[in-house]
Chains A and B, each alone.
Chain A
Amino acid sequence: MSDLRTESPNGTYVAHCAKGELAYQVDGETGAAVFFPRVIGPGTGAALAWRVSKGLGTVYATTVVHTKGEAPHNVALIDVDEGFRMMSRVEGIDPMAVKIGMRVRVRMHPGEPPYPVFDVEAGA
């Protein structure tokens, strides 16, 4: 378990993002993938170990947000192949063209801090 005086779950996650990596955790007892990052495993209380995802996933649910004065944007829930789900958005196509079941690949969106977004996986 991390020393919260010097290292936080979110801090470790963000440091991975800065390296272009989508990080997640696995439960020390069950091996189940855990996301969002935590100090102990949900449902078990077990220690968690960090992993880096291969970055491939499938759209689980999708919406298009309409904000006055802005272009509509996608918000999606992505089931990442290693067995966890996260909110993100699919970029590079019309937000209405994002469909459930679509295969997508992660990419870090520049920002402070950088955060993961997804592109449609070529050839999927």
Chain B
Amino acid sequence: MSGLLRGSVAVVAAAESALGQVAAGTTPVDLMAQATRRALDECGLKLSDIDGVFTNCAQLRMPTLSLCEYLGLQPRYQDGTGIGGSSFMTHVQHAMLAIEHGLCEVALIAYGSTQRSVSRAAASPREFNPYETPYKPFMPASAYALAASRHMHEFGTTRENLAEVAVAARRWALLNPVAWEKEPLSIEQVLGARMVSYPLTVRDCCLVTDGGGAIILTSAARARGLRQAPAFVLGVGECVSHASISNMADLTVTGARRSGEIAYAMAGVAAREVKTAQVYDAFSINTILFLEDLGFCPKGEGGRFVSGGAIAPGGMLPVNTSGGGLSYCHPGMYGLLVLIEAVRQVRGDAGARQVAGCDVALAHGNGGVLSSQVTVILGGASTV
């Protein structure tokens, strides 16, 4: 069980940097700084108010040092924990801990990547693994394809079910003015797209874009005096289960089951009370696995659960309302953008894609090859 206090801190600002394709010469820290400025403007805090800095970035060897230098900050507390795309959900947990214990008062969590501009291979080179590399898996896609193969074998999930996830993400993206993808997408187009690692086509795989973001957290008391409606951190849970896909015990059950249990228990919230789920969709199979493991449907039913537009606009559960990593943006470690969309939904300023009465939103991060799972549950003023 968590020793953290439900609702003790809140996200008071959440902003994207430029997304998609950035100008030549732009650095990951330029994007972090741009998003930080936007976040400060949103909440009314000053740069000098930030006394806790959290970031991780595959392009930077010591990311908190680079960001603090750039911003001219010598924070009381810093944390560069790196567990892939879920790093930023873990940063929320660590920021909460630091704020509760007086190690800092105003925590900045920032991210930036120029992986589209500099190439994915340059932005996040893969480690040599003598037990995997000789077989030439296309990582990370092949790891998720292996998981999909197992889900299809055990539960009868189909490629059409996977395609439904991509189509739903696209329909949400068409409601998001800053989404990368601008054209409608059909199930047939997903199935007929270039195969990457069977059963995943390029449309089952996340985008490769530049981009970044920043969120600012502070104590609940201080949050109430700022410009934005606070998104209170009701619960957070984490599970790390493996590093390489060969060492994942059961490819159909992720650590999201454990991270979700911890987060729900801390929040005192059940899955049925979550108004929107933002789950890290690096690949279409992710959404199915996480909706199961986070309790939105029984294990094995995810493929059928997402069918018929059930997670698309107008469906029974709004999932990945930004358009997700599949259609909105995916700058390498996308988890911070997942959090930003959840914050906006709780604040009620998600524009055309706003979920009505969204008092509770779940943001779930995934890192590595289904390796690290971190769940954050956010709530509006009525929940604390």
Contact = CB atoms under 8 A, between A and B. Distances in A.
A62 B149 contact: yes
Contacts of A72: 195, 198
B194 interface: yes
A63 B145 contact: yes
A47 interface: no
B157 interface: no
Q: How large is the interface on A (under 10, 10 to 19, 20 to 34, 35 or more residues)?
A: 20 to 34
Contacts of B304: none
A56 interface: no
A14 B134 CA distance: 13
B198 A63 contact: yes
Given A66-B198, A87-B132, 10 more contacts: A35-B131, A64-B198, A65-B138, A66-B196, A66-B197, A72-B198, A75-B142, A86-B246, A87-B135, A87-B244
Contacts of A36: 130-131, 246-247
Q: How large is the interface on B (under 10, 10 to 19, 20 to 34, 35 or more residues)?
A: 20 to 34
B48 to A, nearest CB: 47
A89 interface: yes
Given A66-B197, A87-B245, A77 B146 contact: yes
A36 B199 CA distance: 27
B177 to A, nearest CB: 33
B258 interface: no
A100 interface: yes
Interface in B165-214: 194-199
Contact of B246 (A67, A87, A96): A87
Contacts of B135: 75, 87-89
Contact of A100 (B132, B149, B247): B149
Contacts of B291: none
The 9 A-B residue pairs with the shortest CB-CB distance in the complex, in nearest-first order: A63-B145, A64-B198, A61-B146, A100-B153, A87-B246, A61-B150, A75-B137, A66-B195, A115-B134
A73 B244 CA distance: 20
Interface of A: 10, 14, 35-36, 60-67, 72-73, 75-77, 85-89, 96, 100-101, 111, 115
A86 B194 contact: no
Contacts of A10: 130
A111 B130 CA distance: 13
Nearest to B131: A36
Interface centre among A61, A76, A100 (most CB of B within 10 A): A61
Contacts of B18: none
B251 interface: yes
A62 B137 CA distance: 11
A71 to B, nearest CB: 12
A89 B136 CA distance: 9
Interface in B122-162: 130-132, 134-138, 142, 145-147, 149-150, 153
A65 B142 contact: yes
A27 B66 CA distance: 43
Contacts of A61: 146-147, 149-150, 153, 251
Contacts of A14: 130
Contacts of B136: 65, 67, 73, 75
Contacts of B131: 35-36, 86-87
B197 A64 contact: yes
Contacts of B247: 36, 85
A77 B245 contact: yes
A65 B197 contact: yes
B288 to A, nearest CB: 15
A37 to B, nearest CB: 8
B134 A85 contact: no
B246 A85 contact: yes
Nearest to B154: A100
B194 A111 contact: no
Given A65-B142, A77-B146, A87-B246, A96 B134 contact: no
